[in-house]
């Protein structure tokens, strides 16, 4: 897959299938859209291009808060998911005020036609331009609108997944995503409290702008050095930062290597329990043994 930045000189000579959208998380609803795009591309023997944005479009409209930068997937993971969904050209365009204030006709002329599309594939709720119109088929290209994918609750959406992650319901988030929600971090030195309890932990610094699950203890898989290992992880708050900065510690089962400075990825599988204040070391160790049993048997 080729990753490009959109500019006014960008123009594709070959015909393409163009997919439009932001696609935070590339969840099951998005995957249905890309399945449709792949089927069309196979019939027409064309490659697939995506025009998307590096950040949420809402940044151009709302008062800024740091949470606006948070995503369901890191930039690297998002690119990997695009490639897995059959994308040949991934093109990024900043969602600026100038971009937002275009009309639909201007968007079509300034952006869509640069991809020389035979077919444009969008979701049912995708609109273009300041006049908020749906893209229409023309003499130049056909527009295919993919309907929503829903479960018993309603539409499968990034909003529902974000809410599930923030509530700690990672099992539901995974069901909606179609894959395990993940967090990538760098292993750093902590207080070594886990080691004193017989449960050494890797303390993680999270550098990606992604949503972190709610405080609690979770069953996890850990991807490190091309291996997937089971463990359990705790998410708490750092007193140094007035209980606002979340901290992540993970104990990897049957693993004793020193991995300071290395990068690992936590795959969140299910929540075991909320955080508990213990009255002593013995009760804490007993609870950790119970957590281990739950995680191993998941």
Over the stretch 228-262, which tens digit does the pLDDT of each residue have? 999 999 998 755 445 566 789 999 999 988 889 99
Hey, which CATH number is domain 2-146, 3.90.550.10, 3.40.50.620, 3.30.300.130, 3.40.50.300?
3.40.50.620
Indicate the DSSP class of residue 196: H
Catalytic residues, which ones?
249
Give the pLDDT mean for 77-104: 95
Specify whether domain 179-296 bears CATH 2.40.30.30. yes
Q: What is the share, in percent, of the chain residues with pLDDT greater than 70?
A: 95
Could you tell me which residue, 161 or 132, shows the higher pLDDT? 161
**Residue 271 and residue 28: Cα distance in Å, rounded?**
22
What residues does each domain of the chain span?
2-146, 179-296
C-alpha Rg value of the chain to the nearest Å: 22
pLDDT value, residue 197: 62
pLDDT number for residue 60:
82
**Phi, psi dihedral angles at 157 (to 5 degrees):** -140, 160
When comparing pLDDT for 94 and 60, which is higher?
94
Calculate the average pLDDT of the chain: 91
Quote the pLDDT of residue 240.
42
Task: List pLDDT tens digits, range 38-65.
Answer: 999 999 999 999 999 999 888 888 888 8
Residue 131 has pLDDT above 80, yes or no: no
- Binning pLDDT at 50, 70 and 90, where does residue 90 land? very high
| Same fold across 2-146 and 179-296 | no
Sign of the CA dihedral with 237 first, then 241, 244, and 249 last: negative
User: What are the pLDDT digits (tens) for 9-28?
Assistant: 999 999 999 999 999 999 99
**Which of 145, 153, 147 minimizes the C-alpha distance to 175?**
153
pLDDT value at position 125? 86
User: Cα-flanking dihedrals φ and ψ of residue 210, to 5°?
Assistant: -125, 160
The pLDDT of residue 86 is 97
* Better-scored residue on pLDDT, 200 or 268: 268
Strands of the sheet containing 47-52, edge to edge, are: 2-5, 89-92, 47-52, 16-20, 117-123, 142-146
User: So what's the pLDDT on residue 241?
Assistant: 43
Please state, for a pLDDT cut of 90, what percent of the chain lies above it.
Answer: 71
Dist CA 11 CA 23 (whole Å): 23
Q: What is the pLDDT of residue 136?
A: 87
* pLDDT of amino acid 16: 97
- Per-residue pLDDT of 180-225, as tens digits, reads 999 999 999 876 565 556 678 899 999 899 999 999 999 999 999 8
Q: Where are the beta strands (DSSP E) in 14-147?
A: 16-20, 47-52, 89-92, 117-123, 142-146
Full-prediction pTM beyond 0.85? Answer: yes
Alpha-carbon torsion 196, 200, 205, 211, what sign?
negative
Query: Which tokens sit at 75?
Result: 């930039």
């Amino acid at each position: 897959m080729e990753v490009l930045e959109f500019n006014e000189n960008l123009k594709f000579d070959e015909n393409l299938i163009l997919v439009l959208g932001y696609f935070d998380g590339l969840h099951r609803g998005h995957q249905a859209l890309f399945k449709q795009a792949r089927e069309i591309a196979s019939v027409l023997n064309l490659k697939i291009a995506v025009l998307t944005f590096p950040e949420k479009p809402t940044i151009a409209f709302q008062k800024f808060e740091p949470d606006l930068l948070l995503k369901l997937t890191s930039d690297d993971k998002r690119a990997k998911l695009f490639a897995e969904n059959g994308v040949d050209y991934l093109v990024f365009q900043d969602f600026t005020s100038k971009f937002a204030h275009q009309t639909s006709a201007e968007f079509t002329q300034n952006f869509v036609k640069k991809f020389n599309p035979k077919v444009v594939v969008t979701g049912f709720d995708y609109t273009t331009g300041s006049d908020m119109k749906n893209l229409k088929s023309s003499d130049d290209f056909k527009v295919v609108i993919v309907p929503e994918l829903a479960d018993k609750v309603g539409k499968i959406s990034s909003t529902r997944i974000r809410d599930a992650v923030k509530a700690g319901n990672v099992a539901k988030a995974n069901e909606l995503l179609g894959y395990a929600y993940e967090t990538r971090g760098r292993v750093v030195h902590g207080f070594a409290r886990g080691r004193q309890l017989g449960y050494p932990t890797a303390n993680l610094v999270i550098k990606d702008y992604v949503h972190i699950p709610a405080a609690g203890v979770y069953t996890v898989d850990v991807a490190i050095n091309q291996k997937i290992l089971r463990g359990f992880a705790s998410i708490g708050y750092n007193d140094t930062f007035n209980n606002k900065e979340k901290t992540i510690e993970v104990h990897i089962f049957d693993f004793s290597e020193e991995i300071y400075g290395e990068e690992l990825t936590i795959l969140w599988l299910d929540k075991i329990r909320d955080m508990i204040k213990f009255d002593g070391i013995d009760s804490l160790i007993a609870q950790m043994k119970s957590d281990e049993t739950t995680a191993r048997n998941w």
